[in-house]
Structure 1
Amino acid sequence: MNIIIHPTYLPNIAHFVAMANSKEIAFEMDDNFVKQTYRNRSYIYGANGKLALNIPVVHSQKNRQKYRDVKIFNEEKWQNLHWKSLLSAYRTSPFFEYYEDELRPLFELKTDYILDFNFKCFETICDCLQLELNYTKTEIYNNTFESGIDLRNLVNAKKEIQFKFEPYTQVFSNKHSFIPNLSILDLLFNEGPNSIDYLESQSLIIE
């Protein structure tokens, strides 16, 4: 299938299930930035349950701002905080050390624009997964997508769709049970090389 989808921060399982099972992917590049979405938010499994990682952004005085034009507020030491959160959540997971050296540089390199940083994360994660995807980037915004399935609604973090994904072992699942659709890093650190098989075996079935 062909899909259109948003580039997001440390994309969640639903995004990667869709991408891993797609023939061609179009990344939406020309939409307006909206708050409370996965454009600058990701969820991981912390010791106390679901934990949000938010990238602070520079808010424009304009009513609308293009996603591609949104800058990261790097005055906050958010990268250091996010890496420490990942260490705390996953350093005891089976595969954290296996991918640590590839992922750590993301949280040390300063990037001005959030869209650029999201793509750096995406490319690094694809390398970790050894996943090759065929994708293009849109140049203009269209309300409809005639070439395939429109999955741009997956970017909404406030009204998240509940998908029926198969459970896998998580670090703190004995405390809070299985939490579905977290960042792809949760799957990667817990399942390692088996992550691709998991993604390809799942589908976007709504509970």
Structure 2
Amino acid sequence: MLLLYPTYFSPIIHFVAMAHKNEAFFEVEDNYQKQTYRTRCYIYGANGRQLLNVPILQANSKQKTKDVLLDHSVNWHQQHIKSMASAYKSSPFYEFYEDELIALLLKKHKYLLDLNLDTQQFIIDNLPMEIQITKTTEFHLDYPEGSDFRFLANAKSKQDFNLSKYYQVFSDKYGYIQNLSILDLLFMEGPNAINYLEAQKVEWK
């Protein structure tokens, strides 16, 4: 069993965990938590590690994540599209995914969870990854050892997963940046991204 939070264009390590399973559960019955990858991802911009933040309407820890509303009063969709294009227009594979990516971001989802589930499906389809996804129907704090990977959603974690290096657009300028959004790997490696994920050997702590 593998249990994960569906987050916004998740870090690479999220998909490393998925690449070694044929079934995963997405936690959708949790209460909202701040400082997670639900509302952010990091790409490799011209000035290094770049944050893309997803604005939400006010939410608190007593509110279900699935009820959290996106804030469309700011044009973050276009900001993300522009930032991704600026960062990856010279990458080998960005143009192959650009149209579908833009269409996803312009859907203007009502709920944060729906956006994140769509970003997960976008990646699963384009890697492509053969995995069955099931959404949880109730929340449990504890799961069997080795199955609960919800901790990967913590954006403040400093854990080093020692992932293999691959070439990045600005690596000659700033060096290799580990565990960025899966988009970085997809745009740089294209069809080989799934092979990269499957080749990673991680000692989970």
TM-score relative to the length of structure 2: 0.95
Aligned to 1:150, the other structure's residue is in SS state coil
What is the alpha-carbon distance in structure 2 between the residues aligned to residue 120 and residue 5 of structure 1? 15
The 2-side partners of 1:5 and 1:18 are apart by: 9
Instruction: Give the distance between the partners of 1:163 and 1:31, measured in 2 at CA.
Output: 26
Percentage of matched positions with identical amino acids:
47
Number of residues of Structure 1 aligned to a counterpart in Structure 2: 205
Q: Secondary structure at the match of 2:38?
A: coil
Relative to structure 1, the CA distance from residue 109 to residue 25 in structure 2 (aligned partners, 3 Å threshold; closer, same or farther) is same
User: What does residue 49 of structure 1 align with?
Assistant: 48
**Alpha-carbon offset, residue 100 of structure 1:** 1.1
Distance in 2 (alpha carbons) for counterparts of 1:143 and 1:74: 32
Q: 1:117-128 to 2 correspondence within 5 Å?
A: 117-128=115-126
1:14 aligns with 2:26: no
CA distance in 2, matches of 1:71, 1:26: 23
Match of 2:57 in 1: 58
Partner of 1:159: 157
Compare 7-16 and 20-29 and name the one that shifted more.
20-29
Contact kept? 2:16, 2:197, Cα under 8 Å: yes
1:25-48 deviations in Å (ceiling 9; x for gaps): 111111111111001110000011
> Which amino acid letter does the alignment assign opposite residue 52 of structure 1?
L
Contact 1:154/1:161 (<8 A) preserved? no
Structure 2 letter corresponding to 1:180: Q
Paired letter, 1:28: E
Aligned counterparts of 1:16 and 1:138: Cα–Cα separation in 2: 19
* Equivalent residues of 2:66, 2:113 under 8 A apart: yes
| AA partner of residue 9 (structure 2) | L
Deviates more, 1:178-187 or 1:197-206: 197-206
SS in 1 for 2:2: strand
Counterparts of 1:1-207 in structure 2, within 5 Å, are 2-60=1-59, 64-146=62-144, 149-205=147-203
Q: Which digits, 9 at most, give the CA deviation of each residue in 1:83-137, with x for residues without a partner?
A: 1000010000011111112211012111000000111111112221122211211
Instruction: Specify the code of the residue in structure 1 equivalent to 2:99.
Output: D
Which residues of structure 1 form unaligned runs of 5+?
none
> Distance in 2 between the 1:63 and 1:163 partners?
29
Supply the AA of the counterpart residue of 1:139: T
Structure 2 residue matching 1:39: 3-state secondary structure: helix
Runs in 1 of length 4+ with deviation above 3 angstroms? none
Structure 2 unpaired stretches of 5+ = none
Q: CA deviation at 1:206?
A: 6.3
Between the aligned partners of 2:88 and 2:29, the Cα distance in structure 1 is 34
The 2-side partners of 1:63 and 1:162 are apart by 28
Taking a change above 3 Å as real, the CA distance of residues 206 and 50 of structure 1, as seen in their structure-2 partners, is farther
Q: What is the distance in 1 between the residues matched to 2:82 and 2:194?
A: 26
Cα distance in 1 for partners of 2:194, 2:105 equals 24
